[in-house]
Amino acid sequence: MRIEGVELRYVCLPLRTAFETSFARETDKECLLVRLFGEGLQGWGEVVAMSAPLYNEETLETCWHILRDVLIPFTLKSDWDRPEDWCRAVGHIRRNYMARAGLEAALWDLYSQCQNLSLAQLWGGTRQRVEVGISLGIENTLEDLFPQIEAGINQGYRRIKLKIKPGWDVQVLQAVRKRWPELVLQVDANSAYRLEQAEHLAELDQFDLLLIEQPLEHDDIVDHASLAGRLKTPICLDESIDSVDQCRRALDLGSAKIINIKPGRVGGYTASRAIHDHCLSRSIPCWVGGMLETGIGRLPNLALASMPNFTLPGDISASKRYFRRDLIDPEVVLEDDGRVRVPERPGVGQFLDWKALDLYTRRSEKYTG
Ligand code: OSB
Ligand code: MG
C-alpha cells in the first residue's frame, strides 16, 4: 500500500454524562483521528490519548507531535505490504504507543478494504457477536450511581464494572451487593492504591467480584504479584501491560490472572493480537478494554473482541452509552441479549457520519510526502 497523504483531525464530542475515574473527570471525549489516503481509498484510525497524561504518559499534543514529526514522514517514505510490516519498521521508536496505534489502525482499515475482508476475518475472529459490559464512573452518592446500574442491567449489559478509589469502594460495593446479589460485577481502581493497603483491598473479597483491575501503580508488576498472594479476587492488569513481553513477565511473576487488552495502550492491533495469542497459550482469559472510543475506535475493537480468547465481556458498550451522536452511521448498538454485532464489512471508513465528523472537528492538518 502506497500512502499518498495523511490528515490529522482533533475532534471533541460532548459526553452525555461526565465520566470520573480515580485520576480524572471527563466531560468531553477528545481524540485525534488519523486519515490515510492511498490506493484510491481512505483509512481511518483513532488515537485514544487524553488531553492530560493521567492514564499513561501520552497526551493528544504529544501524539500530534509524534505523528506529524516522526510517524507520518516515515510512513510516507515507503510502500507497506501489510500493517505488521509497518509495526516492525517503527519498532525502534520508543513507546508513544497511542500515537502509533492510531496510525496502525488506519493502516488496518485501508488494508482490510484492499483485501475486501473484514477486520474480524483478517484477525481470525470466531464470533459474529461479542459480549459487552458497561463501565460506570465514580459518583458523589449512591443515589447517583444506582440508577445507572439499574439502567445498565435493564439494557442487558453482561456485567457491570465500577470505578473505585479509597473512599469509594467497600461501602459502595456493600450497598450494590445488597441490592443486586447476583450481578456480574468487577471493579477498576486505575492505580489508586498502594501495596500497604493490601488488607483494605482484601475486604473486597467478600463481594464475589469477577476481578479487580489495576489496583496498584501503573508501571508495577512486582507489588501486584505480592498483592495477588493476599487477595482471593483475581487481579487483572490494564495500565501495566504495554507489550507482549511485559505481559509474559507479569504472568511469570503471578501478577495477574486476567489481562485487559487495549490496542492504544500496547501500540495497536498487531501487538494486541500477539498478547491475545500469548495469553491463549497460557490459558489466561482476556477482554478488550475501552478508552471511551468514538465509533471509529469502537468498530475495530469489536473485531478484535471476536477472537477466541476474549472470553470475558469487553468495555465496548453501545455508542449511546457515551454519545448523543457518534461519528459513525449506523452506530454501535446493544442487542437484547447483551451482545454487539461484529462488523461484517471491511474497514471502518465506510461507516462514517460525515456531518457529525465535520461538526465535531476542531482542527485539522494534512501532510503529503
Ligand atoms: O481504565 O479502563 C480504564 C476510560 C478512560 C481511561 C481508562 C479507563 C477507562 C474506562 C472506559 O474504563 C471504559 C469504556 O470505554 O467504556
Ligand atoms: Mg482500566
- The one-character DSSP state at 79 is B
* 246 alpha carbon, distance to own chain's centre: 18
Mean pLDDT calculated for residue range 194-220: 98
Q: Is 50 found in the same domain as 18?
A: yes
The pairing of beta strand 258-261 with beta strand 286-288: parallel
Q: How far is the CA of 262 from the centre of ligand 2 (A)?
A: 9
Q: How far is the CA of 25 from the centre of ligand 2 (A)?
A: 14
Q: How far is the CA of 188 from the centre of ligand 2 (A)?
A: 6
| Res 324: pLDDT | 96
> Over the stretch 32-51, which tens digit does the pLDDT of each residue have?
999 999 999 999 999 999 99
* Cβ 124 vs Cβ 269: under 8 Å: no
| Percentage of the chain lying above the pLDDT 90 cut | 98
- CA-based radius of gyration for the chain: 20
Cβ–ligand 1 contact at 349 (below 6 Å):
no
To 5 degrees, how large is the angle CA 227–CA 230–CA 232?
110
Q: Which of 315, 317, 340 to mutate to test the pocket of ligand 1 (most atoms within 8 A of CB)?
A: 315
The secondary structure of the chain in percent helix, strand, coil, rounded to multiples of 5, reads: 40, 25, 40
Cβ–ligand 1 contact at 240 (below 6 Å):
no
Task: Determine the straight-line distance between the first and last CA of the chain, rounded to whole angstroms.
Answer: 14
Cβ–ligand 1 contact at 289 (below 6 Å):
yes
Q: How far is the CA of 216 from the centre of ligand 2 (A)?
A: 11
Q: Is 271 found in the same domain as 178?
A: yes
Q: Which helix (H) or strand (E) holds 85?
A: helix 83-89
Structural domain count, the chain: 2
Q: Residue 128 pLDDT more than 90?
A: yes
Q: Is 235 found in the same domain as 280?
A: yes
Mean pLDDT calculated for residue range 277-303: 98
Q: Print the domain residue range for 37.
A: 3-115+350-368
| 369 — pLDDT class (breaks 50, 70, 90) | confident
Q: Is 125 found in the same domain as 111?
A: no
Closest residue to atom 6 of ligand 1, CA basis:
291
C-alpha to C-alpha distance for 346 and 235, rounded to whole angstroms: 35
Assign 131 to helix, strand or coil.
strand
| Res 341: pLDDT | 97
Asked if the peptide bond before residue 313 counts as cis, ω within 30 degrees of 0, the response is no
C-alpha to C-alpha distance for 292 and 321, rounded to whole angstroms: 10
Closest residue to atom 12 of ligand 1, CA basis:
135
Q: Is 180 found in the same domain as 70?
A: no
Q: Residue 326 pLDDT more than 90?
A: yes
Q: Mean pLDDT score of the chain, rounded to an integer? A: 97
C-alpha to C-alpha distance for 237 and 56, rounded to whole angstroms: 14
Mean pLDDT calculated for residue range 338-361: 94
Cβ–ligand 1 contact at 317 (below 6 Å):
yes
Q: Is 324 found in the same domain as 241?
A: yes
> Over the stretch 140-179, which tens digit does the pLDDT of each residue have?
999 999 999 999 999 999 899 999 999 999 999 999 999 9
Q: Is 152 found in the same domain as 278?
A: yes
Q: Is 165 found in the same domain as 44?
A: no
| DSSP state letters, 322-341 | HBSS-SBSSPP---TTSEEE
Residues within 5 Å of ion ligand 2, judged at the Cβ atom: 188, 213, 238
Q: What are the residue numbers of the active site?
A: 163, 262
Q: Is 312 found in the same domain as 326?
A: yes
| Res 138: pLDDT | 98
| Res 312: pLDDT | 98
Q: What is the CATH number of the domain that holds 321?
A: 3.20.20.120
| Res 197: pLDDT | 98
| Res 336: pLDDT | 87
Cβ–ligand 1 contact at 188 (below 6 Å):
yes
Q: Is 262 found in the same domain as 219?
A: yes
C-alpha to C-alpha distance for 1 and 317, rounded to whole angstroms: 33
Residue in this structure with the C-alpha cell 505523528, named with its chain if needed: 67
